[in-house]
Amino acid sequence: MVRLSQKFEFSATHRLHNAALSDAENCRVFGKCNQSAWHGHNYELQVTLAGKPDANGVLIDVPEFESM
Protein backbone atom coordinates (compact mmCIF):
# COMPACT_ATOMS: atom_id res chain seq x y z
CA MET A 1 0.00 0.00 0.00
CA VAL A 2 1.19 3.51 -0.79
CA ARG A 3 -0.08 6.89 0.30
CA LEU A 4 -0.18 10.11 -1.68
CA SER A 5 -0.83 13.38 0.15
CA GLN A 6 -1.43 16.85 -1.21
CA LYS A 7 -2.06 20.12 0.60
CA PHE A 8 -4.57 22.50 -0.96
CA GLU A 9 -4.95 26.15 0.03
CA PHE A 10 -7.90 28.35 -0.87
CA SER A 11 -9.71 31.47 0.22
CA ALA A 12 -13.43 32.09 0.60
CA THR A 13 -15.48 35.19 1.37
CA HIS A 14 -18.92 35.80 2.77
CA ARG A 15 -21.19 38.50 4.09
CA LEU A 16 -23.84 37.91 6.70
CA HIS A 17 -26.70 40.33 6.11
CA ASN A 18 -30.42 40.35 6.83
CA ALA A 19 -32.34 42.70 4.51
CA ALA A 20 -35.10 42.98 7.13
CA LEU A 21 -32.68 44.73 9.53
CA SER A 22 -31.27 48.25 9.37
CA ASP A 23 -27.60 48.75 8.52
CA ALA A 24 -26.87 49.56 12.17
CA GLU A 25 -28.68 46.45 13.39
CA ASN A 26 -26.90 44.25 10.83
CA CYS A 27 -23.58 45.68 12.01
CA ARG A 28 -24.45 45.05 15.66
CA VAL A 29 -25.69 41.49 15.06
CA PHE A 30 -23.09 40.29 12.54
CA GLY A 31 -20.06 42.49 13.34
CA LYS A 32 -17.17 42.26 10.88
CA CYS A 33 -19.01 39.54 8.93
CA ASN A 34 -21.44 42.25 7.70
CA GLN A 35 -18.84 44.44 5.96
CA SER A 36 -20.11 45.59 2.56
CA ALA A 37 -16.70 44.64 1.12
CA TRP A 38 -17.27 41.10 2.46
CA HIS A 39 -15.20 39.13 4.98
CA GLY A 40 -12.77 36.36 4.11
CA HIS A 41 -11.01 33.32 5.47
CA ASN A 42 -8.04 31.30 4.28
CA TYR A 43 -8.25 27.53 4.46
CA GLU A 44 -5.75 24.71 4.23
CA LEU A 45 -6.90 21.17 3.44
CA GLN A 46 -4.70 18.09 3.36
CA VAL A 47 -5.96 15.07 1.44
CA THR A 48 -4.35 11.64 1.59
CA LEU A 49 -5.18 8.77 -0.76
CA ALA A 50 -4.06 5.25 0.06
CA GLY A 51 -4.16 2.14 -2.05
CA LYS A 52 -2.34 -0.41 -4.12
CA PRO A 53 -0.31 1.09 -6.99
CA ASP A 54 -0.67 -0.18 -10.54
CA ALA A 55 2.03 -2.17 -12.37
CA ASN A 56 3.94 1.07 -13.01
CA GLY A 57 3.93 1.98 -9.31
CA VAL A 58 1.32 4.71 -9.76
CA LEU A 59 -1.57 5.15 -7.35
CA ILE A 60 -3.17 8.03 -9.28
CA ASP A 61 -1.95 10.46 -11.90
CA VAL A 62 -0.90 13.58 -9.92
CA PRO A 63 -2.62 16.12 -12.25
CA GLU A 64 -5.84 14.07 -11.97
CA PHE A 65 -5.50 14.04 -8.16
CA GLU A 66 -4.99 17.80 -8.07
CA SER A 67 -8.05 18.44 -10.25
CA MET A 68 -10.48 16.40 -8.10
| Residue-wise DSSP of the chain | -EEEEEEEEEEEEE----TTS-HHHHHHHHGGGG-TT-EEEEEEEEEEEEE---TTS-SS-HHHHHH-
What is the reported pTM? 0.56
List pLDDT tens digits, range 24-58: 999 999 999 999 899 899 999 999 999 999 999 89
Among 29, 36, 47, smallest CA distance to 14 is for 36
pLDDT at 39: 87
